[in-house]
Amino acid sequence: MTQRVAIELTVNGRPVRAEVEPRLLLADFLRDHLELTGTHLGCEHGVCGACTVLLDGDPVRSCLALAVQANGTHVETVESLTQEDGSLHPIQQAFADHHALQCGFCTPGFLMTVRGIFDDLPGMTEAQIREAVSGNLCRCTGYANIVRAVQQLQRDLQLQAVRDPATRSGSRVDDRGALRDTARSEVK
């Protein structure tokens, strides 16, 4: 008889309970069981980055994680970016403004990778930005506009920090940072 394993996790802020086959990939769990089809599957062996989601705050490849491994974690998918009123997240807006996508297949992965570095972005160099997005493949744009979009986002965040230092505290971004710190506390 096929084994089923009970899992409990938080996906985009909502608690999720399910019983899954252990061989189910996290990406397929998100897409087929939760119908969060924004997470795209390209290569299914960890090369293309299209399936990138945040796992306890860190960008990971959801095709290289089993759903059962996500038990007890916080997962964020590209669906978490859009605001409740339907407006775009600043990362999405920057991609739209700079034509940083064409066919859009790889875009969810890029958006979540950039989400993962969002906190650190104001202090990053262009080389660090390129390094950060280097694990995501895009066959349309040639990457130049993606890097431009991230740099525009970086400037916006820097300006925002200068104009209104208070806006950065208490945001979801900081909650996520705290989450990551907790997850890492064992290794110090």
Examine residue 5 and tell whether it contacts other proteins (CB under 8 A).
yes
Q: Per-residue contact track with other proteins, 41 to 80, x per CB under 8 A? A: ---xxx--x--x--x--xxxx-xxxx-xx-----------
Examine residue 38 and tell whether it contacts other proteins (CB under 8 A).
no
Q: Distance between CA atoms of 185 and 167, rounded to whole angstroms?
A: 27
Q: Per-residue contact track with other proteins, 147 to 186, x per CB under 8 A? A: -------------------------------------x-x
Examine residue 139 and tell whether it contacts other proteins (CB under 8 A).
no
Pick between residue 59 and residue 108 the one whose CB is nearest to other proteins: 59
* Amino acid, res. 151: Q
Nearest to 146 by CA among 96, 100, 90, 94: 100
What would the two tokens of residue 89 be? 């997240």
Q: Using the 8-state DSSP alphabet, how is residue 25 labeled?
A: B
Residue 102 burial (10 A CB sphere; 0-12, 13-18, 19+): middle
Element (H, E) at 6: strand 5-11
List residues binding other proteins (CB under 8 A).
Answer: 2-3, 5, 21-23, 25, 28, 44-46, 49, 52, 55, 58-61, 63-66, 68-69, 113, 116, 131-132, 134-135, 184, 186-187
